[in-house]
Amino acid sequence: MRLIRCFSHVRQGFITHTQILKALSIFLISLSFYAHQADAYQLELEIFESKGGKISSVENNFGCMEHCKIQTFSKRIISLLALADDGYRFDGWEGACDNSLGPLCTLKLNENGKVSAKFVKSEQATPPVQAILLLHDINEKHTVWNEFVKQRFNNRCPVVYGGFVLDKDSFDTSNRTACYRIAFGYYGLIRDSLVDKDYLANSRPHYSKTHLGFEIRAAVLGLLNRHPNLNLTLIGNGHAAIPALSYLQTTTEDRKNINGLLSLSSEGRITDKNIFSAMRADSEFKEFPLVRIAAHPAQSRKINAALDTLVNAKWPLN
């Protein structure tokens, strides 16, 4: 009976049930806040000798010109890009990113850390280089381009992974056009190894929409590090057009080196067609070369003809 009276007093206004729940909620939120605070770490960013470029955050384009500090939490991964100034090229990472070979570094901190990027002056003026970057469909591998590479580039077309070019250049001898092909999957591998499974499951949709575009940008930067005076055309098979268009809609400086986008699509596929239509309605892209054709990667003649239309280049049709 006393217990019943006690609850009756609560209902009568000494402490309402709603107030108890509110107080408990505030307490739990406070615990969560301080728990996250305990997992916070600092990452120190530094440009070697304070010259030659900057370190940029992939997600928000935050740029560090000399020396900066950023804060992050233990469950969050950070992606950084080394961006060279005109007349310089990226020469490597030190510190927490020293295992990264290309201009893209992705890490998760378990303690306070430091990252340094080194840039060196380009030795001489570089001639213009015309190149293509082949993008495979999301559910394929870069080997889907093997037949095209065999026909046009004598079986040689270096792979770019995580912004790092894995082999020497290969040119089409008839028109001196260089060939590269991206291998998607850098972020998938990094995230699977660095991020807790429950956190990964919650963030996968975001990854599929945006991070492939980051991989394309990293590939472009890796090629620019090799050829600063680069004229690059993107060729995407199937749904690869979606992250390519995502990258092209950014305002990054490196985007100016892209000549155009050729999308190979199966008959009846409307996803990338709708995106193309939306981009053409955007005033910024009305003059940008975008071509969509019904073809697959082995159809060299169709691709060559479309490229000739796209960039007005001398692509042999035989």
Identify whether the C-beta of residue 87 lies closer than 8 Å to the C-beta of residue 122: yes
Which pLDDT score is estimated for 157?
94
Write down the pTM of the prediction. Answer: 0.78
Count the neighbouring beta carbons within 10 Å of the beta carbon of residue 144. 19
pLDDT of residue 12: 40
- What is the token pair recorded at 50? 């304070």
Q: What confidence category does residue 274 fall into, taking pLDDT thresholds of 50, 70 and 90?
A: low
Largest CA distance in the chain: 97
**Residue 262 pLDDT > 50, yes or no?**
yes
pLDDT of residue 114: 92
Q: In the Cβ-directed half-sphere of 317, how many Cα atoms lie within 13 Å?
A: 5
CA distance 64 to 46: 8
Percentage of the residues of the chain whose pLDDT score is greater than 70 = 71
Q: Does the pLDDT at position 301 exceed 70?
A: yes
pLDDT at 187 over 90: no
pLDDT digit string, tens, across residues 49-102:
888 999 998 877 678 888 888 887 766 788 899 999 988 999 999 999 988 989
pLDDT mean over 174-191: 84
Average pLDDT over residues 276-281: 63
Is 287 in a helix, a strand, or coil?
coil
223 — pLDDT class (breaks 50, 70, 90): very high
Mean pLDDT over 254-275 rounds to 74
**Do 39-121 and 129-311 come out as alike in CATH topology?**
no
* Mean pLDDT over the full length of the chain: 77
The answer to whether 41 and 72 have CB atoms below 8 angstroms apart is yes
Q: Which residue has the higher pLDDT, 18 or 29?
A: 18
pLDDT at residue number 180: 97
Q: What is the pLDDT of residue 175?
A: 74
pLDDT at residue 57, as a whole number: 85
Check residue 107 and give its pLDDT.
Answer: 86
* 78-84 and 53-57 strand pairing: antiparallel
pLDDT band at 16 (very low <50, low <70, confident <90, very high): low
For residues 254 and 278, which has the higher predicted lDDT (pLDDT)? 254
Q: Is the pLDDT of residue 267 over 90?
A: no
Q: Where are the domains of the chain?
A: 39-121, 129-311
**234 neighbors 258 (Cβ within 8 angstroms):** yes
Nearest-angstrom CA–CA distance, 314 and 240: 25
Provide the percentage of residues in the chain whose pLDDT is more than 90: 29
Determine the pLDDT at residue 133: 97
Asked if residue 257 has pLDDT above 70, the reply is yes
Output 150 or 204, whichever has higher pLDDT. 150
Question: Residue 48: is its pLDDT beyond 50?
Answer: yes
Whether the pLDDT of residue 289 is over 90: the answer is: no
Residue 170: both structure tokens together: 């290969």
Q: CB–CB of 157/181 below 8 Å? A: yes
Q: What CATH number was assigned to the domain covering residues 39-121?
A: 2.60.40
Task: Tell which wins on pLDDT, 76 or 106.
Answer: 106
Confidence (pLDDT) at 51: 87
Query: Top-level CATH class of 129-311?
Result: alpha beta
